[in-house]
Amino acid sequence: MQFLLDTNILSELLKPQPNSKVIDHLGYDDRSIAIAAVTYYEMVFGYVKLRNSHKKDAIEIFVRQEIQEKLLILPYDEDAAKWHALEVGRLRQRGKTPPHLDGQIAAIAAVNNLTLVTRNTKDFQHFRDLRIENWFE
């Protein structure tokens, strides 16, 4: 595995005209890509909170067929929790308070030695020892 995809990368695939650079990058072998359990939560919650509609059905099918069945979903485990706690402690001493879910995603990427792929690089830039790529650029 090489890459951990953030939620905004997966959400891009649901757009009528997804960003072509993201699509090109996703041409990698599925075995090089994983997502965090937190990202899976965000995708499932994204459709669960919608009213019954074709959009909700399409997202649910996408999550099941393209994410759940094809991608490795990595857990927020003991190592990730420790990394997360240490990093949040360090950042708070510097006056920064990262969003909790972003910290969990960063931790899963860091402890699994993966590059985090996100459009929101600013949300993750202060974490130490975290490789980040923006496939929109």
For the domain that residue 26 is a member of, what is the CATH number? Answer: 3.40.50.1010
Q: Give residues with Cβ within 8 angstroms of 114, minimum separation 6.
A: 1, 2, 3, 4, 34, 108, 131
Band of pLDDT at residue 89, cut at 50, 70 and 90: very high
Percent of the chain at pLDDT > 90 equals: 92
For the entire predicted model, the pTM comes to: 0.93
**Number of domain units in the chain:** 1
Residue 1 pLDDT greater than 90, yes or no? no
Residue 73 pLDDT greater than 90, yes or no? yes
**Which structural domain, as residue segments, surrounds residue 51?**
3-133
What pLDDT sits at residue 12?
A: 95
Band of pLDDT at residue 76, cut at 50, 70 and 90: very high
Helices and strands counted in the chain (H then E): 6, 5
What pLDDT sits at residue 29?
A: 60
pLDDT in tens, 3-60: 999 999 999 999 999 999 999 888 766 679 999 999 999 999 999 999 999 999 999 9
Specify whether the CB–CB gap between 133 and 112 falls below 8 A. no
What pLDDT sits at residue 27?
A: 74
Specify whether the CB–CB gap between 69 and 62 falls below 8 A. no
Q: Chain-wide mean pLDDT for the chain? A: 95
Specify whether the CB–CB gap between 80 and 111 falls below 8 A. yes
Rounded to 5°, angle at Cα 62 from 61 and 66: 120
